[in-house]
Amino acid sequence: MNRFGALIYDRFLIGASQQAGLAEKRCEALAAASGEVLEIGAGTGLNLAAYPREGITRLVCTEPSLAMSSQLQARSGEAPIEIEVVAASAEQLPFGDASFDCVTGTLVLCEAGSPPAALAEIARVLRPGGHYLFLEHVRSLDHDHARMQDRWAPLWRRASGGCNCNRDTLATIKSSQLTVEKAEVGRFPKAPKIVKPLLIGSAVRNAS
């Protein structure tokens, strides 16, 4: 996310969706978060109010953009516990192997430079049996809609500051070291048709 995108993110880019039901979808996606939790691409911190109020013992929020993470810091009071903010991209997480019970990420893999590398890192830092909870806008399951996303993807990427509207993120998660336990595709509230399909789910790191 570039600096301008960060400035207008809460009010103009995501605000209407938040009001129209995205805030509830965040709660749904994060309901199983517990123990030591790591969030990737935490942005301006819109998930902080959506975490369960009990059961989380540590909450580390990573975010590579300073313009986003300064807003995240300002919103830290909405979290169920004190948060740690770390500047890092999901492809290079500065944490040891098996150091978290849960990793969360919402609307991040559309922007990440390499989703497979990010997922390899998520699997590495998760403890065996730990969960990755995700909410991502994805490639449409409808052929014609997906072709429309493909056509507009280059322009959308430039206009949005790096968002890829046509990624088959569920397939990428399935091909990682994680096992998908739950995946549902619904609709991104009040979003343009190009980013309408919204995936919510969870995957587990198997004991190796």
Torsion of CA 13, 19, 23, 24, to 10 degrees: -140
Residue sitting closest to ligand SAM (CB): 43
Read off φ and ψ for residue 178, nearest 5 degrees: -100, 150
CB closer to ligand SAM out of 46 and 170 = 46
SS3 185: strand
Q: How far is the CB of 14 from ligand SAM (least distance, A)?
A: 6
Q: CA 154, CA 156: separation in Å to the nearest integer?
A: 5
CB closer to ligand SAM out of 13 and 180 = 13
- In this structure, are residues 52 and 40 in contact, taking their beta carbons and an 8 Å threshold? no
Residues making contact with ligand SAM (CB under 6 A): 1, 14, 40-43, 46-47, 63-65, 68, 89-91, 106-108, 111-113
CB closer to ligand SAM out of 6 and 203 = 6
Q: How far is the CB of 111 from ligand SAM (least distance, A)?
A: 4
Beta bridge partners of 38: 60, 103
Q: How far is the CB of 137 from ligand SAM (least distance, A)?
A: 9
CB closer to ligand SAM out of 78 and 91 = 91
- In this structure, are residues 41 and 103 in contact, taking their beta carbons and an 8 Å threshold? no
